[in-house]
Structure 1
Amino acid sequence: MHIFYTPDITTDIYTLSEEESKHCTRVLRLQQGDTVYLVDGNGGRYTSIIQDANQKKCQLQVIEKQVEYGKLPYYVHIAVAPTKNIDRMEWFVEKAVEIGVSAITFLECDHSERKQLRLDRIEKIAVSAMKQSQKGYMPLLRDMVPFRKFIQTCAPEDTFIAHLEDDATKSLKDYFRSDRTHTILIGPEGDFSPEEIAAAYDTGIRPITLGDSRLRTETAALVACHTLHVLHDIYAPL
């Protein structure tokens, strides 16, 4: 199955970008009459036939459209402080998209070693993972935002902070509800500062533990994402 990301598709005749046209005709060696699939990142999947295998402007004819293709039956938002080694954060994004994540926000925290990132590169990695895993939805990716500013926008009853302090004794399982939006806050390699934890508590956000092991930032973020996926399969199977 050959999938192309086409967020701007609006009509039944679509022309791939020059880059995608080259990939379609030169790399994949697809020809006129071959079937390909387009996804718009919002749940639309379009079965299409190649009409003109032009290497610069490959034209397609949409013959069928599916809506809510691959829609997650739950909503999970991971808010994470990027690691100093950006490769590790890119690995997390790739794997989280493959598993299924609704939104990822990047946090600037007191102990953060990275204050900025290239969101355009992160988006390309997410698109590639979405296509590879045959997802129909592109997760919302939010650029760096200060921790204290972000928690003011969260619904406290649906938001949980994972940290290493002793009072983080309950797990995601203790709070899981299939009809709930879950936002999980994951700190930097030096953990959240005591002041940040206190600020989160002041807004009503509750602490959680992700287990007995001390996890790297990107591992903790992926564990939270996968745990919610498994909990939904157990407690709210399709």
Structure 2
Amino acid sequence: MAERLAGKIAVVTGAANGIGQGCADMFAREGATVIGIDRADCDLTNEAAVNAHFAAIGAQHGRIDVLVNAAAFAVFDWIENLSYADWKTTLTGELDIVFLATRAAWPWLKASGKASVINFASANAAHALEGSPALAHCAGKGGVLAMTRQLAMEGAPHGIRANTIAPGFIKTAATRAHLAADPAFEGQVLSKNMLKRLGEPEDIAWCAVWLASDEARYVTGANIPVDAGATAW
């Protein structure tokens, strides 16, 4: 089905690489008008800059139909090595920027009348993967999961749906570096996967297209694992 997002105004953060880029590219192929945001466009940790950027988008387009909060950054380390600064950096990079972007977009999502917010939790919000020093990341993504359920409740009277996708291990520039640093880690990931391969950004983007489309008009407050079955057992 082509043009599943025809006529929709979609804002995608983190659109320059990884899952965000995969979503932005596929949304465009499915007919959406895509406004990509990355660090070069707007500092998503700067409240004033985020508010101004979304105000400009709203002024130009009059509404936002889809918000994809794919931007994130995190520090991965074991608890005995993880500084408080690293902890706060990760919560800023995985939780605060979702809040700031969503709050800034909210008036324009309300203007749509049938908007979709797509956030990203993680398989790490459901399980601890042996060999992965992801304490702060787990906390950040667990927070996104809880926040999105609340957004679904607050958005429902305005026709705003809010859902999370929980990716498993997806091959991006960042995760390829992790695999290169620890060649044994891929085997640990695959040992949890029912489907014995690593994911690609496209695997997540297909789910995001569905959540953004009118096909998912009755879906809100949901968390959809796209993780090769890693959290199913």
Higher Rg of the two aligned structures: 1
**TM-score > 0.5, shorter chain as reference:** no
Specify which structure has the higher proportion of helix: 2
Specify which structure has the higher proportion of strand: 1
- Relative to the length of structure 2, the TM-score reads 0.32
